[in-house]
Amino acid sequence: MISFEMTDEQKQMQDVARKFTRNQIIPAAAELDEKAQMPVDIIKGAFEFGLWNLNLPEQYGGMGLDHLTEAILLEEIAYGCLGVCGAWAGNSLGLTPILLAGTDEQKQRWLCPFGEAPLFAAFCITEPNAGSDVSAVRTTARREKEEYILNGVKHFITHGGIAQMHVVFARTGEPNSGAKGLTAFLVPRDAPGLSVGKIENKMGDRASHISEIIFEDVHVPVRDRLGAEGQGFKISMQTLDRTRMCIGAAAVGVARRAYEEALEYSKQRVQFGKPLFKHQAIAFMLADMATEIEAARGLVWQAAWKMDQGDADPKLGAMAKLYAGDAAMKITVDALQIFGGYGYMKEYPMEKLMRDAKILQIYEGTQQVQRMVISARITS
């Protein structure tokens, strides 16, 4: 039987995450956004609270949470700041490939340090000419005896260059080998030849570290190849099938924050002799927001639940990311409209929420890519 009631443990963890967000994230969010600063102290605090590395199994020192609980917690963290939540989502994205395709030896060697300290992981696939089209990756990995030599440039990489573990997708096949020529590698931050290029100055999501990474004759031992040669595309797609749900959960958090801010403001702001929420035009906007949030959360939870049953459904993951991301964008725009001119000012959180929401329609596959994933499965 399907139930939408959280377990007692999930309620307790949600309460911990909600208090942590209220006490640690929300008071710092505006300054982190203004300075485009990584929330290092917040992450250290989250590690001490047991709110870090949500998808890392207990045997490696992580939380070992089921996917539904992970979605519940990510919603709370993104409610405080999407940029801060980007560190959580970035780690989930970076850790998932090795959880899927790593050998026992690789998992022990690479994952155990994440259970001992608040470290970062990075998923390195996007390039200047390979965004939605992953098969266009140009970074190369040339094998010489018992190692590969990586050369190329990645960009728009969360935790790029600061991560202790980079999962790098490079071409081991011929230049025109497309998706079949991609292979994944595990590369440490201190690998000679790895350097940080441009650090992106973003419209929103500014507390998240996004940068370019340059690989110049980076030597990677064969033992740090993830999976077999040519399996990189499969590993990357299986990863995104699982992590798009996380973006959906974060989108629900952003949308919920915008809605609650607008609802509270509509009760306080009086126009034409009565509070804003008593005007039907505003009341209907709020009703639509509340409905869209519930619908988005339902899709996210369904996608997470399916994964917990051992059946990661690419269609549901894409639907969750698509619907929740679009809902967050619409809701933040409408919520700012309820604030009127005040919503446009930085003393209120609305303009930041709207700036942050846009990236939810872009990263981990644009909304157009999500529609490609969905349509391919409903027509097959």
Q: Which alpha helices (DSSP H) does the chain contain, by range?
A: 8-20, 26-35, 40-49, 67-80, 82-101, 104-116, 232-268, 280-308, 314-339, 350-358, 367-378
The CB density around residue 50, as the number of other CB atoms within 10 Å, is: 12
Task: Name the CATH superfamily, with its identifier, for domain 121-230.
Answer: Butyryl-CoA Dehydrogenase, subunit A, domain 2 (2.40.110.10)
β-bridge mates for residue 149, sequence order: 142, 219
| pTM listed for this prediction | 0.96
* 70-117 pLDDT tens trace: 999 999 999 999 999 999 999 999 999 999 999 999 999 999 999 999
| pLDDT for the residue 1 | 44
| pLDDT for the residue 77 | 98
Copy the structure tokens of residue 34.
């203004």
**Radius of gyration of the chain from its Cα atoms, rounded to whole angstroms:** 21
Query: Across the chain, what does the average pLDDT equal?
Result: 96
- Coil, strand, or helix at residue 341? helix
Specify whether the backbone of 221 is left (phi greater than 0), alpha (psi in -120 to 50) or beta.
Answer: beta
* 191-240 pLDDT tens trace: 999 999 999 999 999 999 999 999 999 999 999 999 999 999 999 999 99
Specify whether the backbone of 156 is left (phi greater than 0), alpha (psi in -120 to 50) or beta.
Answer: left
Region(s) of the chain under CATH 1.10.540.10: 8-116
Which residues are annotated as catalytic?
Answer: 364
**What's the CATH number for 8-116?**
1.10.540.10
Region(s) of the chain under CATH 2.40.110.10: 121-230
DSSP 277: G
Full DSSP string of 21-34: IIIIIHHHHHHHHH
Q: Which CATH fold would you assign to the domain 234-378? A: Butyryl-CoA Dehydrogenase, subunit A; domain 3 (1.20.140)
Copy the structure tokens of residue 47.
């590690």
Instruction: Assess contact for 220 and 191: CB atoms under 8 A.
Output: yes
pLDDT at residue 168 tops 50: yes
Rounded Cα distance, 171 and 232, in Å: 9
Instruction: Assess contact for 373 and 314: CB atoms under 8 A.
Output: yes
| pLDDT for the residue 176 | 87
The CB density around residue 357, as the number of other CB atoms within 10 Å, is: 27
| pLDDT for the residue 131 | 85
The percent of residues above 70 in pLDDT, for the chain, comes to: 99
Residue found by looking up tokens 């650090």 in the block: 199
Region(s) of the chain under CATH 1.20.140.10: 234-378
